Structure 1
Amino acid sequence: MMQNILTFLKTIDTELYRYIVEYGIVMYIVLFLLIYAKTAFILLTFLPGDSTVFASGTIAAIGHLNIWLLFLLFFIATIIGDAQNYTIGNFLNNEKSKSWRFSPLRFIPEKTILKATNFLERYGKIAITFSRFVPLMRTTVPFVSGFTSYSFQNFLMYNCLGALIWTIVWLFSGFALGNIPWIADNLFLSLMFISLTAFIPAIGAFIFEYIKKYSKKTRHLL
């Protein structure tokens, strides 16, 4: 049973059209809960997010989903999810919770938390706004924001801005491209490409940091 649920969730982006035909309007609830769970619980970061929103937009373009209802659901789901993730991080910021046998901190690599902390300290509001576009950072930054007691008011403000940008980019990109016959007819291949593009920000950041370090070494040698 659990294996079937995991398979359903992990393939929902590529099999979304089939699920919509099979389950109908119930899929609106499923899509909302999927995006919410992905952002609310750091351990569920493996769930497909960008590609699911993109696929939803593509299918909405051919008339099987309502684009504005999707926009509202995804926007609210990611705001609430990140806010809950922040709350969990804030709650766990004490020695007692760290010693719990099943504390989430035991399942999160310390290196990942350190990277997210440095990312947050270095880029602040920009990190909160755009972290959801960077794999692994999208769930760890809200968690670390709470864990380090970052101002919730500022977090909420830039969380909402980031949710708006993220939803518009992926949902309406899917909607626009869904009107192209080849995209609609080859949704699986399109989603494979979209999944790869999610790593572009991380690759760009790595290249930027590499060039920056190389430049420092060069100046030092000179």
Structure 2
Amino acid sequence: MDEIIQVLKNIDSSLHYYIDEFGAAIYIMLFLIVYFKTGFVILTFLPGDSMVFASGTLAATGDLNFKTLFILFAAATILGDSQNFLIGKLLRKLNSKKHYLNRLTSDKSIGKAKDFLSDYGKIAISASRFVPLMRTSVPFVSGYTGYEFRTFLSYNLIGGLIWTTLWLTAGHLLGNIDWVVNNLFFTLLMVSSTAFIPAIIGFIKQYKKKKEAIA
């Protein structure tokens, strides 16, 4: 099991090897990884941004089909977040008798997701995709706190399409640069690092608010 988890965690940097091994079935694997990452709050360790980016670079070299990837990734992340929402909604009903929520995620993660929704409103559903940990916690908490599904789905669609377009197109454009293809591991490391920029900005804003409140 540990070996399988390690393979899944690092599949983005070794994607070209798996294309040769699995052929067309690689599309099913890519769909499932994104779907499971967004559909289950406990699978945050799976690659997301970096894998979509890596897929885009391979689409630029002709190893994968860009249009097929776009449809699969957009569908996977939108369906996954919708499922995550429905799981949260279901657990809201069950949690009055048994503390299922505490078994899936920490109170700290739930608290941060609630604050994120409170600070940014409905747009947080779309924006959460670009913030580590929030991308799986916010859909779950939205369902758990009683958000209307129709409203959630609208912003989920917007976020899913923007997220897929951004990372897949970025990979496709940069995939024509030899250095990016030959140094994919370092490129993915930089891509993964950019995901923390919104979180850092948010932390700085919160710090300034607390400092002003104390003053």
Query: Is the TM-score greater than 0.5?
Result: yes
Q: Counterpart of 1:112?
A: 109
Q: Counterpart of 2:195?
A: 198
1:95-136 deviation per Cα after TM superposition (whole angstroms, max 9, x unaligned): 557626xx3532311111011012112212110011010000
Q: Counterpart of 1:214?
A: 211
For the pair 1:148 / 2:124, whether they are aligned, the reply is no
Identity of counterpart residues, as a percentage?
56
Larger Rg computed on CA atoms: 1
Q: Counterpart of 1:88?
A: 87
State the Cα distance separating 1:52 from its structure 2 match.
0.4
Letter of the 2:160 partner, please give it: A
Q: Counterpart of 2:31?
A: 32
Q: Counterpart of 1:9?
A: 8
Structure 2: how far apart are the matches of 1:60 and 1:133? 22
Structure 1: how far apart are the matches of 2:94 and 2:122? 28
For the pair 1:158 / 2:155, whether they are aligned, the reply is yes
Any stretches of 5+ residues in structure 1 without a counterpart? none
**Superposed counterparts of 1:63-142, under 5 Å:** 63-95=62-94, 99=98, 103-142=100-139
Letter of the 2:172 partner, please give it: F
1:58-99 deviation per Cα after TM superposition (whole angstroms, max 9, x unaligned): 111111000110000000000100000000000000355762
Q: Counterpart of 1:178?
A: 175
Secondary structure, in 3 states, of the residue corresponding to 2:52?
helix
Letter of the 2:134 partner, please give it: M
Structure 2: how far apart are the matches of 1:140 and 1:98? 22
Structure 2: how far apart are the matches of 1:185 and 1:161? 33
- Worse-matched range after superposition: 144-153 or 103-112: 103-112
State the Cα distance separating 1:171 from its structure 2 match.
0.5
Maintained 8 Å contact 1:98/1:105: no
Stretches of 4+ aligned residues off by more than 3 angstroms: 95-98, 215-218
Structure 2: how far apart are the matches of 1:98 and 1:64? 51
TM-aligned CA distance change 1:17 to 1:133, over 3 Å: same
State the Cα distance separating 1:214 from its structure 2 match.
2.4
Structure 1: how far apart are the matches of 2:95 and 2:168? 41
Secondary structure, in 3 states, of the residue corresponding to 1:179?
coil
Any stretches of 5+ residues in structure 2 without a counterpart? none
Equivalent pairs counted in the alignment come to 215
Structure 2: how far apart are the matches of 1:187 and 1:23? 20
The CA RMSD over aligned residues, in Å, is 1.4
Structure 2: how far apart are the matches of 1:29 and 1:95? 33
Structure 1: how far apart are the matches of 2:159 and 2:97? 30
State the Cα distance separating 1:181 from its structure 2 match.
1.0
TM-score by length of 1: 0.92
Maintained 8 Å contact 1:92/1:98: no
State the Cα distance separating 1:217 from its structure 2 match.
3.5
Structure 1: how far apart are the matches of 2:123 and 2:163? 13
Secondary structure, in 3 states, of the residue corresponding to 2:64?
coil
